[in-house]
Amino acid sequence: MSQPAEVLDEEQELEPPIPMFEGQHVSRVAVKISGLSTVDGEMKPFGIEDRVRLVGEFKCVKVLHEVDPKTGDLVRVQVLTPSEVAPCPWDPTNPHDDGVIRRR
């Protein structure tokens, strides 16, 4: 009897391992988003501390390796810059949701 598609074989890896850096084990991966992008289309004004939900496409422009000062672990830092950004509603079923939760 075959297993359902969502059940993984115990030996199957969920994701590839983090590449070593100069012979050193890398403990984790972090992402930094850098750069500027303009959102095309009509946007409503945001207020200070409003929460804005955006969806975007990013390009990895740099990979750094840094030591975490708290743990001493080596961390792979992947720097992304946005190439496209657009508002994304919090509730897609609400036609008035513009992707902004305004502070009260």
18 by Cβ neighbours in 10 Å (0-12 / 13-18 / 19+) ranks as middle
Look up the domain containing 49 and give its range.
Answer: 28-101
Cβ pair 80, 32 in contact under 8 A: yes
Per DSSP, 90 falls in state: S
Residue 14 lies in a domain: no
If one counts the domains in the chain, the total is 1
The tens digit of pLDDT for each residue in 60-99 reads 999 999 999 999 999 999 999 888 888 899 999 999 998 9
**pTM, whole model, 2 decimals?**
0.65
Residue 92 lies in a domain: yes
Is residue 8 very low, low, confident or very high in pLDDT (cuts 50, 70, 90)? Answer: very low
Residue 79 lies in a domain: yes
| Residue 79 to residue 33: CA distance in whole angstroms | 6
Residue 22 lies in a domain: no
Is residue 102 very low, low, confident or very high in pLDDT (cuts 50, 70, 90)? Answer: very high
Residue 11 lies in a domain: no
Give me the mean pLDDT over the 39-53 stretch: 80
Q: Residues 6 or more apart from 79 whose CB is under 8 A from it?
A: 31, 32, 33, 34, 60, 61, 62, 63, 64
